[in-house]
A and B are shown apart, each in its own frame.
Chain A
Amino acid sequence: MVKDQEYLKKTASFCIDLAKKLGATDSSAAVMHSLSETVNFRNRKLDESDRSDSLAVSLTIYIGKKKSSISSSNLNEENIKTLIERCIETTKITPEDEFNSLPDKELLVDKIIDLNLYDDDHIENDEKIEYLKEVEEAALQKKEIINTETGFSESKSNFILANSDGFLNGYKSSSFSASCVAVAKDSNGKMERDYEFTSTCHLHDMLRPKQIGTIAAKKTLQKLNPKKIESEKISIIFDRRISKGILSVLASAISASSIARGTSFLKDKINEEIFSTSINIFDKPNIVKGLGSRYFDSEGVKTEELKLVDQGVLKHYLVDTYNGKKLNLKSNGRSGGTSNLFFERGSISYKELLKLNQRALYITETIGHGSNLVTGDYSVGATGFMIENGIFKYPVSEITIAGNFNDIFKNITLADDLEFKYSTNAPTILIEGMVVAGK
């Protein structure tokens, strides 16, 4: 069983009280416990079982405007005391920073509306195994599939956040996920790999095992016998697996920390048009059972829905207490980043989007870390499909795609197929004017 709120509250309060006694003027503490059980299957055989029991405490101590932090997985009281003493000594010799402080009291969350983020259901490993067998059976229906690796993971966690201004709040959450990776071989012995997965807060919202296996196998087979294409400027379509990455880049570039440090290509772009006028982007923390939902941010500050981009115009940065004070902005509860971040759906269907150009390159996977947030330059390895007149023609691999986010943002068209599969979600996206490097 995951440890209860009372136990976590007791530990957090112990840390806050002891820190105060030893000379802290302010402090905040987080105590987390998580329990998870995973079973992995490979080619119809049990491969691995993994049980994880993980407890941790982290504490930030302030002495005036001086600050330092400790964390530990050893909750023995004597060990905690030694660590807090060490932290106090460290804080004393750390230079002052005028922006160091706990969040403003009036911004802390006071009331919580249940978002149904915890499911008490437990699924035994034997049942997980039955589920995975079905996944593999479905994938192995295709004879070209030579290897399947599947996994089922269940996780329960609980945490408490406390600070010396009296904040003491936390909540349980649960996560269930299953995945299937399939490998297929073509007649020349060349292999390709693809996957499908499901990840939910509640056990009964998971995809059926057969769906996962069937989709993983289908996607893998589609990739066999890829071609390398000539270098050219061509319209790119990002599958939903990839399109959400554009929002992740936006989130990093508008974090108050990047803005305050001056290292973002979107610095000083607030209230400016950074996307085309048809684009709206939301960050909504209060979606029931949402994978990115939260009741407050990592400092205890209330989180409200933000329309980050309104008709193409950037309306908000993602503000935490420290960087907010630096930028003279109030925290909007985004310490720790975005919650459920998504593009408002577009107005044309997926099929119509594929047909908008006579030729387009449909990207299903990118590899590499090619986003430069200072300049906005983008260059990654990619695999996907050539599309002609809306029809998938052949798989493409060993190419790169490149551009600059300032241009990419202004040249996107959204389909209407938004779904909530991740915490950050986007519909299928068409981007004009990127360069593909191939032969």
Chain B
Amino acid sequence: MIDFFTKTDLSRKDAENIISETLNDCDDGELYLENSKSESILLDDNKIKSLSYSSDLGYGLRAVTGEVIAYSHSNEISKKSLKQSANNLSSTLKSQKGIYNHEIPKTNEKLYKDINPIDEKSLQSKLELLKEVNNYTRAKGGIVQQVTASFAGEYKSIEIIRSGGEVLTDVRPLIRFNVSVMLEKNGKKETGVYGIGGRQSYDEYLKDDNWKNVCDEAFRIASVNLESKPAPAGEMKVVLGSGWPAILIHEAIGHGLEGDFNRKKTSAFHNLMGQRVASEGVTIIDDGTLHNRRGSLTIDDEGTPTEKTVLIENGILKNFMQDRLNARLMNTRSTGSGRRESYKHVVLPRMRNTMMLNGKYSQEEMIKSVDKGIFAVSFGGGQVDITSGKFVFNCTEAYEIINGKIGSPIKGATLIGDGPSILKEVSLVGNNMMLDPGIGTCGKAGQGVPVGVAQPSILIDKMTVGGTQL
């Protein structure tokens, strides 16, 4: 843990006084302090291309009354700066009065260790490992034109001080290992990307040479794409593979179930609570409590312990994801989903690890049932328009399905669908649920936060595939 009140003229007592004075007549709010350290090492083109280390320190003071949020942040932790922030908040909320909610649940369970992954492994050994990664991947043959490999490590120590002096803290490690390979064969170039990560130390994560699997996967995806033919265009059946393709759930329905869009009634789901939004057999949860996972948090960024929130149970919409503000205004409780990218950002309700649970069918059964369609195994990113419900995601590995059999690989195509109706098109849910490898970052209102996804294979009866072959 870091003590934020050394090396400053601001004592903890001063801070507590300013917080209490400022937040006294508000409904909610806190001082959020953050110290983060991050390291990124990039090997590219046979060389260590960049090596950077960053140390960030700052606070965000937030006051909330009614529907109004006043926020002020700075990297100068000092009496003068905090007072200026407090004045700024008070001037915004001058005509508003609230009753401070002191209640905040506590947790004793830690979901990851208090470690700084950057210093747990020496720089020398990280550089050597990247070199080994490069050599291993390039040894796969002359078609390997380019290899990019990177480590990103982060340590974030946060403290939340609420009015009345209540303090909540968390230390969050996060690592990421990524490999990208470009192949060239007969004048055709294709890339493959794969990565892994989580809230652990490098050595715990990269054991038993499992980094080789990452290189193998990146190479395999690029090799598949070298043989790919143009994708079809139009509506057809789509089988989604297990694991990372659950980004579909994240985009198609996850964002639409975040509390803020539903309180503001701008989500296509806002009036569907208790109604059928998915086929029977479809159950989706958002779980922040999985140990060491990228999307997990012991407490969220308002201090609420995370939980396993059931969003859709057997096709029926059960819950939205809430932070304290939206929960209060919608007369419910926070689900521990209040997150922010850093002290520079306001809290928003966000996803953690979003998962579709197992059904009873095998992937083979699904593929066998399709006359003409595609089998999508891996994706790049996705995006959604919350209001119209339209979402897309980009295939990075996909195959055609003809008469119940997997055919040729097809070029990266965008799939597009309609959030509120897509889950009603899910006709078979697989029995092979898998978590993603720990690579997701979700963007919302300019803020990126680490998230996870999981799902079994699923069969979607009708989706538009954005290829070029009519």
Contacts and interface: CB of A to CB of B under 8 A. Distances in A.
Contacts of A53: 72-76, 81
Nearest to B63: A49
A379 B466 contact: yes
A46 B466 contact: no
Interface in A361-415: 365, 367-370, 372, 374-375, 377, 379-381, 383, 397-404
A73 B59 CA distance: 11
Contact of A379 (B75, B123, B146, B414): B414
Contact of B466 (A54, A149, A400): A400
A402 B466 contact: yes
A374 B182 contact: yes
Contacts of B268: 191
Contact of A437 (B45, B69, B88, B233): B233
Contacts of B412: 370, 372, 377, 379
A79 B8 CA distance: 13
Query: Would you call the interface of chain B mostly helix, strand, loop, or mixed?
Result: strand
Contact of B182 (A93, A262, A377): A262
A438 interface: yes
A51 B54 contact: no
Interface string B220-238: 0000000000010111000
B70 A48 contact: yes
Contacts of A232: 470
Given A368-B382, A368-B393, A46 B92 contact: yes
Interface stretch (A64-72, A204-212, A284-292, A423-431): A64-72
B127 A70 contact: no
Contacts of A149: 264
Contacts, number: 243
Contacts of A105: none
Contact of A93 (B92, B127, B414): B127
A46 B64 CA distance: 12
B53 A398 contact: no
A73 B56 contact: yes
B466 A68 contact: no
Interface string B375-407: 000001111111110111110000000000000
B344 interface: yes
Given A192-B387, A380-B414, A74 B72 contact: no
Nearest to A79: B55
Given A50-B346, A370-B414, A398 B67 contact: no
Contacts of B51: 67-69, 90, 94
Given A47-B69, A369-B381, A262 B123 contact: no
B461 interface: no
A95 B47 contact: yes
A368 B392 contact: yes
Contact of B390 (A76, A260, A369, A397): A397
A232 B470 CA distance: 7
A72 B75 CA distance: 10
B372 to A, nearest CB: 14
A83 interface: yes
Interface residues of B, number: 80
Given A191-B387, A368-B414, A374 B191 contact: yes
A147 interface: yes
A261 B71 contact: no
Contacts of B58: 73
A55 B76 contact: yes
A87 interface: yes
Contact of A400 (B55, B385, B386, B416): B416
A436 B469 CA distance: 10
Contacts of A368: 381-383, 392-394, 414, 416
B417 interface: yes
A439 interface: yes
A49 to B, nearest CB: 4
B45 A435 contact: no
Interface in B13-47: 44-45, 47
A116 B385 CA distance: 37
B146 A262 contact: yes
A55 B393 CA distance: 36
B48 interface: yes
Interface string A69-99: 1111111101100010011001001110100
A99 B45 CA distance: 12
Given A261-B146, A435-B233, A72 B55 contact: yes
A42 B390 CA distance: 23
B439 to A, nearest CB: 15
A193 interface: yes
Given A192-B387, A377-B411, A435-B468, A69 B233 contact: no
B70 A381 contact: no
A51 B387 contact: no
B71 A398 contact: no
Most buried by A among B92, B190, B417: B92
Contacts of A69: 50-53
B88 A51 contact: yes
B146 A369 contact: no
Given A78-B7, A368-B383, A398-B417, A435 B390 contact: no
Contacts of A356: none
Interface in A174-195: 183, 189-193
B394 A97 contact: no
Nearest to B69: A48
B319 interface: no
B331 to A, nearest CB: 19
A379 B70 contact: no
A369 B394 contact: yes
B362 interface: no
B390 A261 contact: no
A200 B387 CA distance: 28
Contacts of B67: 42, 45, 47
A137 B380 CA distance: 41
A133 to B, nearest CB: 15
A271 interface: no
Contacts of A367: 383-385, 390-392
Nearest to A232: B470
B186 interface: no
Given A50-B71, A263-B191, 16 more contacts: A48-B346, A49-B70, A53-B72, A70-B54, A261-B44, A365-B385, A379-B467, A379-B468, A380-B392, A381-B416, A383-B388, A398-B418, A402-B414, A435-B467, A435-B469, A437-B416
21 contacts: A50-B346, A51-B72, A52-B73, A70-B52, A72-B55, A73-B58, A97-B48, A125-B92, A146-B265, A228-B464, A262-B146, A367-B392, A368-B382, A370-B394, A372-B412, A379-B412, A379-B467, A381-B391, A381-B414, A398-B464, A399-B466
Q: Return the 5 tightest CB-CB contacts between A and B, nearest first.
A: A400-B466, A381-B392, A437-B233, A368-B392, A193-B387
